[in-house]
Chain A
Amino acid sequence: MGELAVDKHVQYILSVEKRKDSFESVVMDHLRMNGAYWGLTTLDLLGKLDTVDADEVISWIMKCQHESGGFSGNIGHDPHILYTVSAVQVLALFNKLDVLDIDKVATYITGLQNEDGSFSGDIWGEVDTRFSYIAICCLSILRCLDRINVEKAVNYILSCKNLDGGFGCTPGGESHAGQIFCCVGALAITGSLHHVDKDLLGWWLCERQVKSGGLNGRPEKLPDVCYSWWVLTSLIMIDRVHWIDKEKLVKFILNCQDVENGGISDRPDDAVDVFHTYFGVAGLSLLEYPGLKAIDPAYALPVDVINRIFFSR
């Protein structure tokens, strides 16, 4: 198993950008903005963000912004809230939020709130609690959460709570660790966690840990590195993280590394990708693995970045 192969992972992330001519990278092209967030946040957690040319990244990001204020996943694509949050997060990483017309971005997000408090992902109207989280997280980073109806947003999220204590995409949707992260994160940011039965939800979340030490996202599913993030953050936010075996989880994540070529996969021996590399490193950061920057479980950004936003000046 060994230790975290920091240098290999840095090399891997830097190489992904250069490998533009594979089928995989062509079909992932439309979500390059998310990829930038995953890769760059990982580099920052590893203390290597300075290996990237910030100006180049920022000018590309700004080319993805639309008249509406929203961002697209790459130049020439349609805007969506999923890419807007990644753009804002990356700008926050580089301490460059001042290049944004904050009012314009906030107007875009505010415009996506529906009458019942829920949020659409874009003008085409798909509703999901993920979009509620993104809207709340994004506006909070931009320090204009008061632009939306927070009470209604919170009530909508609560309407997606199930009898098992978990949350789904829409009212009546199945509980899923990813959706739980979004809902608990949004409730944490808006100071509404008192609406959650912490023991009940914590119970369900802890039952996600399987024998190998890894976490799954739903009953009967295989463990997967990315759930280290969704489940762990939720447990931390509701103060129940002492209920799982952290040591075993660290081992599971380290076992999913490609120690030769860098990168982390969903399970041991699968092919690596940037997504799971980010969640693996972020999970280890939550588990206080030595040498990594601390990450904030609600905002999904390094703690020093969050402190800079909220406590500077």
Chain B
Amino acid sequence: MYRSSFFSFVFFFDFRGKQTKRQNSELEIEKMNENSLDEEGAMDLLNQLEAILESDPLIDEVGFIHPSQFVMLSKECCESSDSSEDGAFRPRDTKFWNRDHKLGISTEVLLPLCKAAKSAFMDVMKQYKTHSSLSDNKHEDENIMFGSLSCLSFESEVMKHSRALLLLSCDFGTAWNSRKLVVSKKQQMSMFMDELLLSALVLSYSPKSEQAWSHRRWIIKMIAGKYSTLQDIIANESELVEKIAERSKMNYRAWNHRCWLVSYMTRGQMLHEIKKSRDWAGLHVADNSCFHYRRRLMLGILENSFCKQEGDNSSYDVENYQVVKEELDLNEVLIKRYIGREALWLHRRYLSLCLIRHLTTMHGTCCHSEQKTSMDNEINKFLDNESCLLNSCSTIQDMEFEDFKAQAMYSAIYFLWLIKQIPQFREIELQVKLKAGNLKSILHKTCPERSFLWDFLDLNGF
């Protein structure tokens, strides 16, 4: 289901994304305002933020809001809310906004807040480390009396300040590490789950944060093998990626995380994921990452059947063939619906290769001649289908439209790519009479600048 980001309607500063020159100069102006805040004022702000985080542990979205938008947001809430409990953290001087588990922070205070959080974190880390090394050298009974008590309070301070800091500076690796250190000492399931929540919160404003994604993987590796809930967690992770991918298009880090999950999935889960992500793929045909995820799942399914050779693997063979075949059919539908999309054609290269490999390796293993002929038939049927597809897509219906030109180009390059990887295709190319002329002339018409193709054509006697 589509879920729009709560903060997407306000002007959103993405500090880690690219800024235009105009946004940059606006930041310069804010910087001058911020300098008026002294250190004490900054610490006070940090305390406010940490109190909010403490009081509402279920915050699931953070946004940085420009002062002008901030005023509007606060007003709107005052009007809509009639109860007094709502206003707990609103007034003061409206630098924070917290309602319905959403947190807004004014861009006006980002710099002093970030500096305060950083120095608070660095200070407590230093003390914590000194304390830990000291208590390592002490006798055990002394540890119980003094050590462990203050150790606990240091740890909670580390967790408090690192959380505030990571909301402001999401790739601060040392802060993530400090949390790993504390959490790995405790080994409590609830703490592991809290880490997943914090990481999701950071991803709500910085969906490409490498550290936040990496933190999740570390947590999952810690949980794996110890708790029975792993399969549920994997399913939740997969859903989280889909949710984030909806707002953050072609997000490599997010999809990479989803691909990583596949190695923890059972065959059943992989099949389920293929089904589940099918509609999403159809609605986001430019997102190569989603198609790659489907390729990863397919390869996982295909590999999975080879591991279990001993048992009854023939049933898997049929199911596997079905998976590849259905993906090819879906891809063809999409190619015809969305004209000239690169990711769709690249996906088809992969699928064709997969299918041919699958069919030819099955050849090797079966000895019944009956089955062999049926496989030969399947291959021939596939080759026929591809030449029909090429024929229909390479005919440029309207030279004026870039999309049709792109479609013709991608289809011709696709065929050429198949010839390179599967030499049998060369024969078909010679047999088929394309309406649009031969491959070479289509490529001449659509992409004369792609010199790598000409080298290939020359080498292969086109």
Contacts and interface: CB of A to CB of B under 8 A. Distances in A.
Interface string B166-193: 0011011110010010000000000000
Interface string B134-172: 000000000000000000000000000000000011011
Nearest to A172: B296
Interface in A214-228: 218-221
A174 B288 contact: yes
Interface in B349-380: 349-350, 353-354
**Interface size range of chain B in the complex:** 35 or more
Contacts of A269: 20-21
Contact of A199 (B177, B221, B420): B420
B174 A220 contact: no
Contacts of B255: 174
A125 interface: yes
B7 interface: no
A80 B260 contact: no
Nearest to B345: A219
Given A172-B262, A174-B292, A125 B218 contact: yes
A122 B174 CA distance: 11
B15 to A, nearest CB: 6
Contacts of A126: 214, 217-218
Interface in A194-223: 199-200, 202-203, 206-207, 218-221
B323 interface: no
B15 A170 contact: no
B252 A218 contact: yes
B259 A77 contact: no
A21 interface: yes
Nearest to A174: B292
B15 A24 contact: yes
A219 B255 CA distance: 14
Given A203-B452, A266-B18, A172 B299 contact: yes
Contacts of A21: 31, 35, 111
B449 interface: yes
Contact of A23 (B15, B20, B299, B300): B15
Contact of B110 (A23, A172, A240): A23
Interface string B7-31: 0000000011011110110011001
B420 A200 contact: yes
Contacts, number: 139
Given A173-B259, A174-B252, A271-B24, A219 B343 contact: yes
A238 B282 CA distance: 36
Interface string B319-350: 00000000000000000000001110010011
Interface in A156-199: 163-164, 168-170, 172-176, 199
A243 interface: yes
Main secondary structure of the interface of A (DSSP, over half): loop
Given A26-B115, A174-B256, A203-B452, A220 B15 contact: no
B346 to A, nearest CB: 5
Interface in B1-55: 15-16, 18-21, 23-24, 27-28, 31, 35
B455 interface: yes
Given A173-B259, A176-B252, A218 B288 contact: yes
Interface string A267-299: 101110000000000000000000000000000
B286 interface: yes
A312 interface: no
In the A-B complex, the 8 residue pairs with the closest CB atoms: A243-B452, A174-B292, A27-B169, A219-B288, A78-B174, A220-B286, A23-B111, A206-B452
Interface of A: 21-24, 26-27, 29-31, 72-73, 76-78, 80, 122, 124-126, 163-164, 168-170, 172-176, 199-200, 202-203, 206-207, 218-221, 240, 242-245, 258, 265-267, 269-271
11 contacts: A22-B27, A26-B111, A163-B354, A164-B346, A172-B262, A176-B252, A199-B420, A206-B452, A270-B21, A271-B19, A271-B20
